[in-house]
Structure 1
Amino acid sequence: MLDNEHVHAVHANDAARRQFLKKSSAAAASLALGTTALPALASVYAPPVRKHGSTVRNVRNYGAVGDGAHDDTTGIQRAIDSLPSSGGTVFVPAGTYLIDVTRTIRLRSYTHLQLDPGAKLLAKATSASRYYVINAYKVHDVEISGGQIVGERDRHLGTMGQWGHCIGIRGCTRVTVRDIRLSKGWGDGISIGAANGTTTVLSENIAVANIVSTGNRRQGMTIGRCRNVKVYDSEFSYTSGIKPGCGIDIEPDPFGTSLTDTVRIENCWIHHNAGNGVQVYKTVRDVVVKACTIEYNKGFGVLMLRANTGYVVNCRIYHNRLYGVSARDATRYYQISSNTFRNNKTLYFGVKSSTGSLTTITGTGSSGSMKSSWQLEVESDCYGIKVGANYYAL
């Protein structure tokens, strides 16, 4: 294929998104209990298209082979580096592309890295404790879409470290990651945070939509020091191997004094993780978890520790090993309402069948410790917590 030939449309994987939402809608409908209506499913989120030039590069024209044996790191990087300053689209046709993660694929500003639905970037085995298959560092106006990225946790040559990520975003602005599957990272499926140096550069205006991040070793997704992060219509599942093991961990690293501010997680399916479904930890402000299904995690469904301001609303929270939602360690100014809880804290009671009617629970949670049938916990050191009407059953 020549560079100027037609590439797949920007939304080539819309069918996959519709299929995910159809499954999510069906699950929600099947869980209607008694006469109580469950919260409506969120509408489909249209992730922002980032600015880039009209130039198109096909990686096959720059030395990439896609046979699963040839090291294609150089070929893909050449295609990216060949773009003009105005950027453009780098297209990866169907095939398996072996990537040397110690060299990584480095993105440039104004670039759309577009994988065919049948394209796979496969990490070469390494002993490195830290790597990114795709590395976005201090760039802006970037998209990553399509296909899949597979890490090398099953083939890793060492035992140290936890930072081998499928996608790393550091100190970037206006980045969209969509319609892609991330799996088997030595660390996270996707890690978003700041670029450290003489001056700390936060990541800002990051959109993640219709991705599946599954079977990674440390987290499905880490959201570190960032502002304005949106995560929609995505799955984070089967994280295990090293703590924290969360589906999504919103946790700024300890460098400097900056915090994480304004995160939206909506219409996501977060399940079967070895740790918490969603963890909101320390210097984090304004987090909304809305219309998500959070189930079968081996920790809490949602855990807030010293978190400041946010909502857990319209979620379905089932069969988590500890409380469905827990506010601890001086968490303040959260609203927890319109959620449906079922059979959480299975550590003590085991998984029960989905029978029985829903019961409404209310409470302020503003003073004292509140525990509602093992579903919802607000510890006594938390304040400004508003607990509206929620629905629960054993």
Structure 2
Amino acid sequence: MIELRFLRISVLGFLIVLESANAFASCEIKPASDLVIDVKSVGARGDGSTDDTKALQKALDGVSLRGGTVVLPVGTYLVDAKVGLRIKSNTVFKLSQGAIIKAMPNAVDTFSILRVYDASNVAIVGGQLKGERHEHQGSTGEWGMGLSLHGASNVVIKDIISKDNWGDGFYVGGKSKNIQFCSVVADGNRRQGLSIVSGAGILVTDSSFINTRGVPPQAGIDIEPNADGAVSDVRIVKSQFLNNAGSGVASYLSSKFKDGSISAISIEGNSFMRNGAEGVAIFNTLDAKVIGNSFEKSNKKAILVDEKSRAIVEQENSTRD
């Protein structure tokens, strides 16, 4: 029996609740200070026709020194995704219900609407990130992201939709750690709903990854390190994977990458329906658990585990044709 231990730790303005040895946070958010900046107060229009990139970045920079909250009222805010918005440490970015940050059409291969790079204690809550896959002006590349994390730590992403991106709805890399996706939706993205290429202590809970299609792997969630990347301690729980052209969840380490690794992956209590490949596909992965999931109308096997993986697959998983 695993003994649960409960700790309450205040870390640079965020109240983080740690449960058990995995130390996953509970998606609680507490601003670092009482400073609040409404983006309209620094010139953002949110009218769907004005480029609001500079105004939004000004608001985000305005809370970066002492920490605080940036509020995005209802509206459509156009952002030059070639530049994107950078969120710094100790920032809560709160998007109102009905607030949309929309990427302006471009022709570049690689970009992100929002970036959290080398920052800690960040929360992004509510609203929608809307990509430009249907207006994209180029034909190459697959790295146009809604939200990218690189070298980030103690980040909560909550109640936000990321859809119609040229690449991924969400991307985690650069040895990021303690990242929580809570009640998020990735819908209609071209490459993945969520890519995890480097990181540790990543929680996905109560979320939906749907309608991913366009360029492989086309998975709801793809755990796939780059050449020397490592991914460990990932929990995917109580989430939905529906109508993705690839797998619902794929964990894959290329045999070419001798220095990469995937370990301690837990996939529990999720629903997989009408995915184009396997519901769950596990390759070259250590200590994976696939427990208590339901699978319906997978185009291939419900669960596929290769001979190089070490995995526990419980009979509690249920399958329907």
Q: TM-score, normalised by structure 2?
A: 0.88
Aligned partner of 1:97 in structure 2 is 77
Q: Which residue of 2 aligns with 1:273?
A: 244
SS at match of 1:101: coil
Of 122, 133, 144, which residue of structure 2 is paired with 1:164?
A: 144
Q: Does 1:142 find its partner at 2:115?
A: no
How many residue pairs get aligned? The number is 290
Task: Please give the per-residue CA displacement for 1:193-243, whole angstroms capped at 9, x wherever unaligned.
Answer: 11xxxxxxx100000000110000000000111000000000000000000
Q: Against the structure 1 CA distance between its residues 290 and 84, is the aligned structure 2 distance closer, same or farther, given a 3 Å change threshold? A: closer
Which of 260, 264, 274 is residue 235 of structure 2 equivalent to? 264
Q: SS at 1:60's partner residue?
A: helix
Q: CA deviation at 1:52?
A: 2.0
**AA in 2 matched with 1:243:** P
More moved, 333-342 vs 213-222: 333-342
Residues in 1 aligned to 2:101 and 2:275: alpha-carbon distance in whole angstroms = 28
Partners of 1:190 and 1:287 lie apart in 2 by 18
Counterpart Cα distance in 2 of 1:222 and 1:50: 27
Query: Is the contact made by 1:164 and 1:187 (CA closer than 8 Å) also made in structure 2?
Result: yes
1:212 maps onto 2:185 in alignment = yes
Q: Secondary structure at the match of 1:337?
A: coil
- Deviation beyond 3 Å, 4+ runs, structure 1: none
CA RMSD of aligned residues (A): 1.2
Pairing 1:191-210 to 2, within 5 Å after superposition: 191-194=171-174, 202-210=175-183
Work out whether residues 50 and 110 of structure 1, in 8 Å CA contact, stay in contact via their aligned partners in 2.
no
- CA distance in structure 2 between the aligned counterparts of 1:183 and 1:337, rounded to whole angstroms: 34
How many angstroms apart in 1 are the aligned matches of 2:102 and 2:76? 7
Q: Distance in 2 between matches of 1:92 and 1:51?
A: 15
CA contact (8 A) 2:44 2:55 kept: yes
What is the rounded CA distance, in whole Å, between the counterparts of 2:283 and 2:93 in structure 1?
36
Residue 46 of structure 1 and its aligned partner are, at CA, apart by 4.2
Alignment partner, residue 303 of structure 1: 281
Instruction: Note the 1:275-290 alignment, pairs <5 A.
Output: 275-282=246-253, 283-290=261-268
The answer to whether the 8 Å contact 2:110/2:142 transfers is yes
1:55 counterpart letter in structure 2: L
Query: Who is 2:309 aligned against?
Result: 331
Kept in 2, the 8 Å contact 1:50–1:142? The answer is no
In 1, Cα distance between the equivalents of 2:37 and 2:222?
A: 35
Calculate percent identity across the aligned residue pairs. Answer: 32
Question: Based on CA coordinates, which of the two structures has the bigger radius of gyration?
Answer: 1
Matching of residue 233 in structure 1 with residue 211 in structure 2: no
Q: Does 1:54 align with 2:34?
A: yes
Is the Cα contact below 8 Å between 2:75 and 2:98 reproduced in 1? yes
Would you tell me which structure has more helix in proportion to its own residues?
A: 1
Are the equivalent residues in 2 in contact too, given 1:50–1:176 (CA < 8 A)? no
SS in structure 1 at match of 2:313: strand
Alignment of 1:1-394 (within 5 A): 46-49=26-29, 52-83=32-63, 85-194=65-174, 202-254=175-227, 256=228, 258-282=229-253, 283-343=261-321
Structure 1, residues 147-196: CA drift from partner, whole Å, max 9, x if none? 101000000000110000000001100000000111000000000111xx
Q: Look up the match of 1:391.
A: none
Question: What CA distance in whole angstroms lies between the structure 1 residues aligned with 2:121 and 2:313?
Answer: 34
Tell me, in whole angstroms, the C-alpha distance in 1 between the residues paired with 2:49 and 2:57: 17
TM-score, normalization by structure 1:
0.72
For each residue in 1:342-388, what CA deviation from the matched residue of structure 2 results, as whole angstroms up to 9, or x when unmatched? 11xxxxxxxxxxxxxxxxxxxxxxxxxxxxxxxxxxxxxxxxxxxxx
TM-superposed deviation, 1:329? 4.4
- The alignment partner of 1:97 has SS state of strand
Distance 1:145 1:333 in 2: 34
What's the offset of the Cα at 1:333? 3.7
Partner Cα distance (2:149, 2:164) in 1: 18
Task: Report SS of the residue matched to 1:96.
Answer: strand
Secondary structure at the aligned position of 1:287 is classed as strand
